[in-house]
Amino acid sequence: MDEEELLKKIINKELTICETCDNIFAYVPNKIFCSNCKRLRWNAQMRASHKKNKNKRNTQKRVYYEKNKEKITAQARADYAANPEKKKIYREKNRDKLNARRRVHREKNRDEMNAQKRVDYHKKKDASE
């Protein structure tokens, strides 16, 4: 299509130009963004909303988990029973990532972990005497 045909179709409301990326798509009343731009805008809005309401969302998740703990754990058990190799495969693929996460956690909580080990050691020692 050349420019004249394109302009004619736009004027006759057969085609529309996207407001952000200048993509051309079929005319739909009140539609000013192509599907790709619409999806990108929606994702950006959702990210902003999630960032803004993070505490509220976490509270909702926690309350839901407390109410439905049995159902959630039963579903997790069923999923694991259906495919027990899944966890093993994940661990093999992400060994470095998991080790790095463990290392960071241990460095961050080293003092607390050592204090707890000392308490446990003395309890065990006192119980044996």
pLDDT of residue 109: 95
pLDDT in tens, 17-34: 888 888 888 888 888 899
C-alpha 97: how far from its chain's center? 17
pLDDT in tens, 46-77: 999 999 999 999 999 999 999 999 999 999 99
pLDDT in tens, 36-53: 999 999 999 999 999 999
Q: What does pLDDT average to over the chain? A: 92
Does residue 129 have a pLDDT over 80? no
Q: Bridge partners of 17?
A: 24
pLDDT in tens, 72-119: 999 999 988 898 888 889 999 999 999 999 999 999 999 999 999 999
pLDDT of residue 116: 95
Does residue 1 have a pLDDT over 70? no
8-state DSSP, 83: -
**3-state secondary structure string, 10-40?**
HHCCCEEECCCCCCEEECCCCCCCCHHHHHH
